[in-house]
């Protein structure tokens, strides 16, 4: 068996040199860029595939904070690999990164339709999801609270009994817009309706007003990012944390039986519904005439198999898309895992429209004005919409230069 190549890439020229150097080998191999930072399970998948198939996969960990921009840059110079493992909303950029629709017989049909649709845009599948989830939920420390909150109102009641040195009872990546979305959903707001960006709405104002009030009441630290939140929660400095399924394995190792998982709390009687998404296998410039076509087909089918999905579940701590693996997991699950699955059922799909990336950026700009520049909530949502509309118009003009 040929040895797996694994390295972490932070500098694009280095990525490109590595990519082109692999083309000098006489024996075809799959060049695979992985963008999921929790990569141990991906390494294991590749190792097991190589054992069973005798097909070599050269794996590179493509961990860039500007992933989207850098993938687009490589696409413009036709320097993308055979296989990408990227967030599901990347399929909305299928034109820009030259993705090829996935052949129908490459996809496992034993997958829930809405999960499979995480790789679908404009009527075609451009990505094959390998797990479902990526959704937010409520974590709590069982040694600090006996019963987790079911509503935000209960948190204020519980706070009276917390230790005096616990300044913030709950923590999350407050300034990251993915965490704002469940609050938006509770008030009936959503970033997109179809392809139309919808940020300047009364519902969005209500969501931002509630969100900002939590900060004003010192319920949450607005300057504690993702890593800060995780460390604070593990250290017992916050009773609660809102975070995603990607941190479960780390928390289990650090906290053991102290870790509890619950549904996101309601806002009064309003249910918070987080986004769910997946990472998908995507295929730049896939050609049936390529020597690698059948190799990529075999890897794709393997990655959706029960064996591979169990690796994703057991080593990655992620919910498999293969219903057989998921059912097996549900039968032997812990109470925490039951909540993970229950919360997943109460999610909304992240849009795959190209306009979703515009919405994220516009939301962030308006939100920063709210937090740092004394904008009102109304001014903030109006700015979000203006920024989004302007960028949609600009991209349309670039795509159709003849349009006026």
Residue 5 has pLDDT above 90, yes or no: no
The CATH number of residue 299's host domain is 3.40.190.10
Same domain? 270 vs 282: no
* Number of domains the chain is built from: 2
Pairwise CA distance, residues 17 & 74, whole Å: 12
Same domain? 110 vs 40: yes
Pairwise CA distance, residues 348 & 309, whole Å: 23
Same domain? 260 vs 382: yes
pTM: 0.82
Same domain? 191 vs 267: yes
User: Which H or E run includes 275?
Assistant: strand 275-276
Q: How far apart are the first and last CA of the chain?
A: 58
Same domain? 12 vs 27: yes
In a domain, 164, yes or no: yes
Domain that holds residue 127: 8-133+277-349
In a domain, 403, yes or no: no
196 compared with 397, residue with greater pLDDT: 196
Same domain? 83 vs 166: no
Starting at the edge strand found earlier in the chain, the sheet holding 240-244 runs 170-171, 240-244, 136-141, 259-262
In a 3-state reduction of DSSP, which class is residue 114? Answer: helix
Same domain? 250 vs 110: no
Pairwise CA distance, residues 306 & 324, whole Å: 7
In a domain, 107, yes or no: yes
List pLDDT tens digits, range 13-65: 444 455 544 444 457 899 999 998 767 899 999 999 999 998 999 999 887 76
pLDDT tier at 400 (50, 70, 90 boundaries)?
Answer: low
In a domain, 234, yes or no: yes
Same domain? 129 vs 149: no
Same domain? 281 vs 165: no
Which pLDDT belongs to residue 307?
Answer: 93
What's the chain's average pLDDT?
88
Same domain? 23 vs 123: yes
Instruction: Identify each DSSP E strand in 314-372 by its residue range.
Output: 319-320, 348-349
């Amino acid at each position: 068996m040929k040895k797996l190549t694994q390295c972490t890439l932070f500098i694009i020229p280095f990525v490109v040199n590595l990519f082109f150097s692999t083309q000098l080998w006489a024996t075809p191999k799959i060049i695979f860029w992985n963008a999921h930072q929790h990569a141990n399970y991906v390494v294991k998948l590749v190792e097991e595939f190589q054992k069973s198939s005798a097909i070599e996969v050269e794996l590179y960990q493509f961990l860039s904070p500007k992933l989207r921009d850098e993938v687009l840059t490589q696409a413009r110079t036709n320097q993308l690999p055979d296989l990408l493992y990227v967030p599901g909303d990347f399929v909305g950029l299928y034109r820009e990164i030259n993705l090829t629709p996935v052949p129908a017989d490459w996809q496992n049909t034993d997958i829930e339709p809405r999960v499979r649709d995480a790789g679908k845009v404009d009527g075609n599948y451009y990505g094959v999801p390998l797990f479902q989830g990526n959704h937010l939920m409520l974590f709590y420390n069982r040694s600090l609270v006996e019963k987790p909150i079911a509503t935000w109102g209960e948190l204020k009641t519980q706070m009276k009994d917390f230790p005096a040195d616990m300044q913030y009872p709950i923590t999350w990546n407050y300034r990251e817009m993915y965490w704002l979305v469940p609050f938006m959903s509770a008030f009936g707001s959503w970033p997109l309706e179809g392809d139309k960006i919808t940020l300047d709405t009364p519902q969005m104002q209500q969501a931002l007003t509630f969100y900002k009030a939590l900060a004003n009441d010192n319920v949450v630290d607005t300057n504690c990012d993702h890593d800060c939140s995780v460390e604070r929660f593990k250290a017992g400095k916050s009773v609660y944390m809102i975070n995603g399924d990607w941190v479960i394995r780390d928390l289990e190792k650090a906290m053991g039986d102290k870790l509890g998982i619950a549904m996101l709390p309601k806002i009064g009687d309003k249910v918070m519904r987080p986004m769910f998404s997946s990472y998908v296998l995507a295929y730049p410039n896939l050609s049936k005439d390529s020597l690698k076509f059948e190799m990529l087909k075999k890897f794709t089918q393997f990655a959706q198999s029960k064996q591979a999905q169990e690796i994703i579940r057991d080593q990655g701590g992620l919910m498999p898309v293969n219903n057989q693996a998921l059912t097996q997991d549900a039968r032997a699950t812990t109470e925490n895992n039951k909540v993970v699955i229950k919360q997943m059922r109460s999610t909304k799909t992240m849009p795959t429209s190209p306009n979703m990336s515009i919405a994220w950026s516009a939301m962030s700009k308006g939100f920063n004005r709210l937090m740092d520049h004394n904008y009102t909530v109304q001014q903030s949502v109006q700015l979000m919409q203006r920024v989004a509309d302007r960028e949609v118009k600009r991209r349309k003009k670039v795509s159709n230069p003849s349009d006026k």
